[in-house]
Structure formats: structure tokens, C-alpha cells
Amino acid sequence: MKAKIIITPKKAVLDPQGKTVQNALEHMGYQGIGAVHVGKYLEVELSGNDRESARKQLDEACHKFLSNPVIEDYRLELE
């Protein structure tokens, strides 16, 4: 089992990295570029098959440690 975690800056928090990448893409001539957000992507390999317990544990870890809820949102997917 594998968990995929995507951490992004909260919409209300300024994301200068995303803005800079967006500007660069526009300057390079790419068309139709909208807002860019730079975040983090984590893959966690899991032993065992209990999806519910894995989700519960990782949800806690995301909230407590892997993301900072003051400035970041996260999305957790299990596959």
C-alpha cells in the first residue's frame, strides 16, 4: 500500500515561489498560464492492508507534523 500526500500553501497565504514560477512561464512565452502554487509531494510506503487505520494514522501525521496547518493544506490519497 502506498500513500500520496500533497502539501500546498493555503490560498490565503502569499506564495511568492508560485508567483515567480508563474511569471517565468509567462516570460518564456507559454500561453494561458494562470496561478501557480508550489508545494510538496510525499510518497509513503506502507506495510499492512488496513486502509482505514493507515488513513487515520497518516491524517494525524499530516496535521501534526508533515504539514503546518497555519500556512499549508494537505491532500492524502491511498492506493
Partner 1 sequence: MNFVVLQFPASNCDQDALHVLRNVLGHSARFVWHKETSLGNADAVIIPGGFSYGDYLRTGAIARFSPVMQAVQAFVAKGGPVLGICNGFQVLCEAGLLPGALIRNRSLQFRCEHIFLKPSRPIHRSPTRFRVTNCSVCRLPMAKVVTLRMKRPWRI
Chain residues binding partner 1 by CB under 8 A are 9, 13-14, 16-17, 20, 65-66, 68, 70-71
**Is 51 or 63 the residue whose CB approaches partner 1 more closely?**
63
* Distance of closest approach, residue 1 Cβ to partner 1, in angstroms: 22
Distance CA 6, CA 41 (A): 5
- What is d(CA 15, CA 1) in angstroms, rounded to the nearest whole number? 32
Residue with smaller CB distance to partner 1, 11 or 52: 11
For partner 1, the closer of residues 57 and 68 by Cβ is 68
φ/ψ of residue 28, rounded to 5: -75, -5
- Number of Cα atoms under 13 Å in the Cβ half of residue 36: 15
